[in-house]
Amino acid sequence: MIDRTYLRENPDEVRDALENRGADVDLDAVLEIDERWRELKARGDELRHERNRITERIGELVAEGKQDEKDEAIEQSKELKAEIEAVEAEAAELQDELEEHMLEIPQIPHESVPPGVDERHNVEDRRWGFDDLREGPAEVTPHYELGEELDIIDEARGAKTTGSGFYFLKGDGARLEHALIQFMLDVHREQGYVDLFPPVPINSASMRGTGQLPKFADDAYRIGDSNDEAYDDDDLWLCPTAEVPVTNMYADDILLQDDLPLKHQAYTPNFRREAGEHGTETRGIVRVHQFNKVELVNFVEPENSYDRLEELLGEAEEVLRRLELPYRVLELCTGDLGFKAAKQIDLEVWAPADDMDDGPEQGGRWLEVSTASNFEDFQARRAGLRYRPERHESAEYLHTLNASGLAIPRVMVAILEYYQNEDGTVTIPEALRPYMNGQEVIEGHEKVGEAALGAGERE
RNA sequence: GCCAGGAUGGCCGAACGGUAAGGCGCACGCCUGGAAAGCGUGUUCCCUUUGGGAUUCUGGGUUCAAAUCCCAGUCCUGGCGCCA
């Protein structure tokens, strides 16, 4: 949430900033409601002041035993009460309306964000790992075909137990998943992160704290009711990213300056509806309804947040470097920024199998595996995340940042495609072998069931 | 799930129908050669800031007046029950 006072005092700056990101917000309506609210608030305060004086007087009159004057005062007070109720009821309505609007105004982009309309104007910073590429097969098999051949990814049976967009990992596939999780957690622990294992159901208040609600209710899985129904603060949703429970963990707390920077990592499953996302670009496990990821969340002092953003990006990159997976770094332009972010930097790994138009010269495509974001005080204001600066009397909003470290299915896609061998096996990246009991190659499994027999896939 | 008790400022903690003590911490000032101690002031949010309003977990109610009484809810503690 942006600062209401700032909006009131700098409407043109806010208007320009929102225009740059292509946001459609009726600022005039908001400013007008704010204006009307302030008038009513002042009127209500006045009336209350008057009543407080009378009530105080009643106490004195009771003590002095002045019956008649007391009765008269009580009569006055009753009259005021009705008037106050009317004024304040209207003010409260406007206040709610104002709050509703404020929750839907996106964050103001940082001045360093490149201007642009959409993803075409994102700016590539650099690439890593392309100078010394690994020798792969002439024709790389896409992960969704390979996963099926090796019988390590089973999408069909996932659809059977749950629905499309859910999948089973089996044997070495499941093992690779576990290995990636443990490996990532170890890397980040070295970087000073403290592990958390959060609850998976999340209440609406927390979802609003990080910015998922109210605008993006359709993206989340709601527990126990339809997404279309009205929800209460304590209604539950399935965790869409560990950012939500971890950031809200300190909601309404005041942290000590010594606590900062506070760095948490959390591995959780993530649930996303991804409505209407189907096609070649999303085949396989690139876009699914449930996936696991290690999330990095930082709580920092405002003056350090942009330095931290660079460091945070480096901490996520470290995972790809150790896995020796080629990738690129992309600065998002104003038009492609997420709702709550002031600045975002994407990390995209190279998946060589499917040639896409916007992929690199070597063929294949880019897969976003992490976005390092600085939210500044946007989430802090929503969730009530504060700290007390030294030599400061009052608590202030801190800055929050996060990045995936990393999204596991897409890293798995990159491994299955980039580390693929001519014979259809997959070499396990060296960094992961200690987590797989020294295993060096994924050779796959014999398939199970009569369908496999009929297809000639087993004897 | 049942019963009992509880929730007050950054923290601790009093007040139990008449408008929120006190202590700790922190900030600023006085004092001091300097520090400690001591003393003073300040230390939630909102507004149109020499002023005013709101705020005792949340939401309702009773009353001229609610931290205080009543109802509902959330969370915490203890006991009982159930349970992998």
Closest nt to residue A81, judged CA to C1': B64
Could you tell me if the ipTM is greater than 0.90?
A: no
Q: Which residues pair with A135 in a beta bridge?
A: none
**CATH topology match: A4-103 vs A119-442:** no
Cis peptide before A260 (omega within 30 of 0): no
Query: What do you get for the CA distance between the two ends of chain A, in Å?
Result: 62
Give the pLDDT mean for A55-81.
85
Indicate the pairing of strand A386-388 with strand A254-256.
parallel
- H or E element: which one contains A155? helix A155-161
In the predicted model, is pLDDT for residue A33 greater than 80? yes
pLDDT value for A308: 97
User: For A356-409, what is each residue's pLDDT tens digit?
Assistant: 999 999 999 999 999 999 999 999 999 999 998 876 667 889 999 999 989 999
Q: Which residues pair with A177 in a beta bridge?
A: none
Report in angstroms the alpha-carbon separations of A315 from A36, A74, A309, A425: 48, 67, 10, 30
Return positions of chain B under 7 A from a protein CB.
10, 18-19, 26-28, 42-48, 51-54, 64-65, 74
Residues A290 and A282: beta-carbon distance below 8 Å? no
Instruction: Tell me the three state secondary structure of residue A365.
Output: strand
Distance A81 CA to B62 C1' (A): 15
- H or E element: which one contains A97? helix A67-103
Distance A301 CA to B29 C1' (A): 29
Give the pLDDT mean for A290-311.
96
Q: CA–CA separation, A414 vs A367, rounded Å? A: 8
Q: What is the mean pLDDT of chain A?
A: 93
In the predicted model, is pLDDT for residue A277 greater than 70? no
pLDDT band at A102 (very low <50, low <70, confident <90, very high): very high
Closest nt to residue A60, judged CA to C1': B18
In the predicted model, is pLDDT for residue A128 greater than 70? yes
Residues 6+ apart with CB under 8 A from A194: A263, A264, A265
The residues close to strand B, meaning Cβ under 7 A, are: A 4-5, 38-39, 41-46, 48-49, 51-56, 58-59, 62, 74, 77-78, 81, 234, 254, 388, 390-395
Closest nt to residue A42, judged CA to C1': B47
| Residue whose CA lies closest to nucleotide B64 C1' | A74
Indicate the pairing of strand A153-154 with strand A254-256.
unpaired
Residues 6+ apart with CB under 8 A from A184: A267, A294, A319, A405, A406, A408
In the predicted model, is pLDDT for residue A11 greater than 90? yes
User: For A433-447, what is each residue's pLDDT tens digit?
Assistant: 999 999 999 999 888
| Residue whose CA lies closest to nucleotide B65 C1' | A55
Report which of A239, A249, A338, A348 is spatially closest to residue A298, judged by C-alpha positions: A249
Q: CA–CA separation, A244 vs A428, rounded Å? A: 32
Distance A46 CA to B53 C1' (A): 8
Q: CA–CA separation, A442 vs A176, rounded Å? A: 9
Q: Which amino acid does the sequence have at A228? A: D
Q: CA–CA separation, A42 vs A74, rounded Å? A: 24
Q: For the domain covering A4-103, report its CATH number.
A: 1.10.287.40
pLDDT value for A67: 82
Distance A199 CA to B83 C1' (A): 20
| Residue whose CA lies closest to nucleotide B58 C1' | A233
Q: Which has the minimum average pLDDT: A4-13, A117-126, A254-263, A275-284?
A: A275-284
Q: Which amino acid does the sequence have at A211? A: G
pLDDT value for A276: 65
Distance A255 CA to B2 C1' (A): 38
pLDDT band at A257 (very low <50, low <70, confident <90, very high): confident
> Domain A119-442 class?
alpha beta
pLDDT band at A302 (very low <50, low <70, confident <90, very high): very high
Distance A352 CA to B53 C1' (A): 65
Domain boundaries along the sequence of chain A = 4-103, 119-442
Q: CA–CA separation, A324 vs A319, rounded Å? A: 9
Closest nt to residue A63, judged CA to C1': B18
pLDDT value for A391: 66
pLDDT band at A48 (very low <50, low <70, confident <90, very high): very high
pLDDT value for A448: 86
User: For A163-198, what is each residue's pLDDT tens digit?
Assistant: 999 999 999 999 999 999 999 999 999 999 999 999
Residues 6+ apart with CB under 8 A from A80: A47, A50, A51, A54
Q: Which residues pair with A327 in a beta bridge?
A: A128, A349
In the predicted model, is pLDDT for residue A7 greater than 90? yes
Residues A179 and A437: beta-carbon distance below 8 Å? no
- Beta-sheet strands, E only, within A274-355: 290-300, 327-331, 343-351
Distance A68 CA to B17 C1' (A): 22
Distance A352 CA to B76 C1' (A): 54
pLDDT value for A231: 87
Percent of chain A with pLDDT over 70: 99
pLDDT value for A393: 67
Distance A157 CA to B80 C1' (A): 46
Residues A150 and A452: beta-carbon distance below 8 Å? no
